[in-house]
Amino acid sequence: MASALSAKAYIHYLKSSYASSLKLYIESLELYEEIADKNGIADVQIGIGNIYVQQHNTKKAMEYYSKNLKYYVDNNDKNGIARMYNNLGRVYSEERDYDKAIEYYNQCLSIRNELKDKSGAARALGNIAYTRNFKNEFEKAVEFFLRCIEIFEELGDKEGLANAYSGIAYSYLNLKKYNEAIAFASKSLQIANEFEIIYEEVNASRTLYSAYKKLGKINEAMKMLELSTRLKEQQLEKNNLDELLKLQFKYDFEKKTHADSIKASEAIKVTEARLQTQKEQLAKEKTQRIMLYGSILFLLVFAGFIYNRFKISQQQQNTIQLQKNYLELQHKIVEQKNREITDSINYAKRIQTAILPPQKTVLEHLKNSFILYLPKDIVAGDFYWIEPTQTSILFAVADCTGHGVPGAMVSVICNNALNRAVREYGLANPGRILDKTREIIIQEFEKSDNEVKDGMDIALCALSNNELLYAGANNPLWIIRNNELIEIYADKQPIGKFDKLQPYHTHVVQLQKNDTIYIFSDGFADQFGGEKGKKFKTPKLKELLLSVQDKSIPQQKEILIQTLENWKGNIEQVDDICVIGIKI
């Protein structure tokens, strides 16, 4: 029964159902302890340690692994020692001490080779390869992955292959060998899907998203992004940290209670023996019976009083300790949840940064320009966009509804709509691009059962030689020529659902040498600061831009940043900020 429960626990572990896995492991552990099976106890404790590694609780994992390493060393169990070296390597890898991790993995590999354990050797090679990936040593990682893949294919180990295929795909992705990355990640995804190994499905789909995106296969990339997001949500639903802590606390508490009850039983037996001795002594001393009975009665009453006070005090201490333990657990849960949320948002920032045009593309098409991009939070609702066509270079600054995570989610949809309007529908006129972008965004949001009015404000330009085409949704275009500011007004309607939808106007401007173009979101003008804590406002921004016309484009950007910092002082940034400046 204990062995069967342990096997079921391992299957739940592979499916990322960590709460279910820990519950089964604890049931198995209780049975093994009941029959005093030390090997079984050690196996289960390794499984529990593995769960805590997945939860990034390295302290708890190390506690389980260290006990077992001593047990295996004392019994000269080389297979067990190799397992613990492998697990300790995982702990040090989790703590980013990669050299220490590789040292333990190599000790594990040496023992596996000595025992002629091909499966164990392959897993050690795979772990070394993953650690090489973490150290950005991707060429070396590929060598180790190929060695372990050869063994897994020989053994027909599907789980091992899913893991190794995913790892080598990540190596090839970082080596910019995108076709190889797609081939191996697809194999990993197929096996992981077949055997419901969710964490491998997540890793493989993320790698496929990045590889397809690098190759410009946007539709395939978006499918993989949606898949990885959906799988991650499933994994988080199953990976219930609060339930894990409750299960572990329940097991520790019951074990301690059982030990305390044994001690109490022994104490009662000792007390009963002493009372019997006293009775026998009283029987022999008849002449002192009355005095002794009186004394004993007094002592019993007094002892009862003392015992009652002691019991009440002990209960109070236990209650305080339990409350303290509960608060500590809740604090750890909150810390863990905050860390998970922050990690997720940081990962979202990586995705959003990947969507933005790289600096190389900006300088290639807009040589004498600057982009000032300051998100309020880790991720932003503002974004800038550049797209070269056969006849012109398109560029824009967009301000999506909200900021932070909600704004970033809207920005992904809006960015994709702009790309589709140009790449899929072949549009080049700014007004027509905004019409089609609005149509796509409304269609996307109408899929929801609830009414969604989110969208964006935008200034969109098409530059061809000295001719500039402009269309805007609430965001204007400023041109400074001979120290005079020319403002081209935007249409007063957003890109999104609106009561009276009208086609967007395209304005044509003939540029002159030394003209400076500015497009921007409202974040800079809306920033609070100064001596009275008021908004910077649009007129002040115009004065600032007019005052820096004798400066180079890089100097203009630095002056804008310094002015903003001086203005806001100790007041926090209230909105995302994005400004593009171009000198003709």
Do 481 and 427 meet the contact criterion of CB atoms below 8 Å apart?
no
pLDDT value at residue 265 = 43
Q: Is the pTM of this model over 0.75?
A: no
Domain residue spans of the chain: 2-239, 243-351, 356-583
What would the CATH number be for the domain defined by 356-583? 3.60.40.10
CA 442, CA 294: separation in Å to the nearest integer? 94
pLDDT value at residue 451 = 67
Instruction: Give the contacts of 353 (CB within 8 A, at least 6 positions apart).
Output: none
**Which of 224, 172, 161, 164 has its CA nearest to residue 194?**
161
What would the CATH number be for the domain defined by 2-239? 1.25.40.10
pLDDT digits (tens), the chain, 584 positions: 999 999 999 898 887 787 888 889 889 989 998 898 888 887 888 888 788 877 778 777 877 787 778 888 888 889 989 988 988 888 888 888 999 999 999 999 999 999 999 999 999 999 999 999 999 999 999 999 999 999 999 999 999 999 999 999 999 999 999 999 999 999 999 998 888 888 889 999 999 999 999 999 989 989 899 888 888 777 665 554 444 544 554 455 345 434 443 443 454 355 455 556 666 666 666 666 677 666 677 777 777 778 777 777 777 777 677 677 667 777 777 777 777 777 767 776 777 777 889 888 888 889 899 999 999 888 888 999 999 998 899 999 999 987 677 788 888 889 999 999 999 999 999 999 999 999 999 988 887 667 667 889 999 999 998 899 999 999 999 999 999 999 999 999 999 888 888 999 999 999 999 999 999 999 999 999 998 889 999 999 999 999 999 999 999 999 999 999 999 988 999 999 999 999 99
Task: Give counts: helices (H), strands (E), the chain.
Answer: 19, 12
Given phi > 0 = left and psi -120 to 50 = alpha, else beta, which region is 200?
alpha
Distances (CA, A) of 12 to 8, 17, 24, 560: 6, 5, 9, 55
Amino acid at 552: S
CA 274, CA 272: separation in Å to the nearest integer? 5
Inter-residue long-range contacts of 261-267, CB under 8 Å, 24+ positions, other chains counted:
none
Q: Encoding tokens for residue 101?
A: 């991790």
Do 486 and 479 meet the contact criterion of CB atoms below 8 Å apart?
yes
Distances (CA, A) of 330 to 21, 98, 247, 253, 333: 21, 31, 14, 17, 5
Q: Please name the helix (run of DSSP H) or strand (run of DSSP E) that holds residue 184, with its range, or none.
A: helix 178-195
Q: How does DSSP assign 293-354, residue by residue?
A: HHHHHHHHHHHHHHHHHHHHHHHHHHHHHHHHHHHHHHHHHHHHHHHHHHHHHHHHHHHHHH
Q: Please name the helix (run of DSSP H) or strand (run of DSSP E) that holds residue 388, with its range, or none.
A: strand 382-388
CA 164, CA 145: separation in Å to the nearest integer? 6
Indicate the SS3 state at residue 456: strand
Do 150 and 138 meet the contact criterion of CB atoms below 8 Å apart?
no
Buried b (16+ CB within 10 A) or exposed e, 85-111: bbbbbbbbbbeeebebbbebbebbbeb
Domains 2-239 and 356-583 share a fold: no
